Amino acid sequence: NIKPKISFIFDDAWDSTLGDVKTLFDARGYKFAAAIPSGSLGNPNRLTINDIPKLQQSGFEVLNHNVTGDVANNATCNSLLNGVGVQPVGFQAPSSVMTDEYLSEVSRTCPFAFTQASNQSNPIPRNTDPLKLFRFSTEAATVQECIDMVDTVIIEGGTAVFYAHDIVTS
């Protein structure tokens, strides 16, 4: 009797995260997580550091999405976010791979982390290491595969985490 859970992560601090995606989710009373790579902030079509507190204050989760996961980069991203009053709640592995050598560092600052994309048709299984959670790419999957994943989670319980990058309003 596990209550099904469906989550969404939007990577890389695209402008659409605070605009179109937030508006869409707010209209339906849902929340998502934004994976923030500190090195992208302020680049063209990206959020600025001052945009991130707006997301967290509105009830959206913020994930550390630093460059490598190593001690220095993890601390830099956390420090930058902490400097504007944001405490990341998790970690999104860069380049879709959580390198084992960084697990102890990430575990010191985050209770969970997402690693490689997985387009398998099963939700995250019970007893999965919370630092090695996989995510389901909406960009790599077909619409039917996304529907099938939601159906599987509803029928079998468990969790599905969908992720995407920038979106277009159409």
Tell which wins on pLDDT, 32 or 119: 32
Residue 44: what pLDDT? 92
Q: What integer pLDDT is reported at residue 1 of this predicted model?
A: 61
pLDDT tens, 59-90?
Answer: 999 999 886 666 777 788 888 999 999 999 98
The pLDDT-based confidence of 118 (bands split at 50, 70, 90) is low
Segment 76-79 long-range contacts (CB within 8 Å, at least 24 positions apart): 76/38, 77/36, 77/37, 77/38, 78/109
**Tens-digit pLDDT profile for residues 1-19:** 678 888 899 999 999 998 8
Instruction: Using the predicted structure, report yes or no on whether residue 115 has a pLDDT greater than 70.
Output: yes
- pLDDT score at 31: 94
User: With contact defined as beta carbons under 8 Å apart, do 137 and 119 qualify?
Assistant: yes
The pLDDT value given to residue 160: 85
Buried b (16+ CB within 10 A) or exposed e, 70-100: eeebbbbbbebbeeeebebebbbbbebebee
- Give the C-alpha separation, 36 to 10, whole Å: 9
Q: What is the pTM of this model?
A: 0.85
Q: What's the confidence (pLDDT) of residue 69?
A: 67
CB-based contact 4:151 (threshold 8 Å): no
pLDDT tens digits, 17-62:
988 899 999 999 999 999 998 888 889 999 999 999 999 999 999 9
Residue bearing the bigger pLDDT, 32 or 169: 32
pLDDT higher than 90, residue 104:
no
Identify the residue whose tokens are 């102890």: 104
Q: How many Cβ atoms from other residues are within 10 Å of residue 12's Cβ?
A: 18
CA angle 55, 58, 61 (to 5 degrees): 55
The pLDDT score that the predictor gives to residue 28 is 93
How far apart are the C-alpha atoms of 166 and 140, rounded to whole Å? 13
Give pLDDT tens digits for 148-168. 888 988 888 778 888 888 776
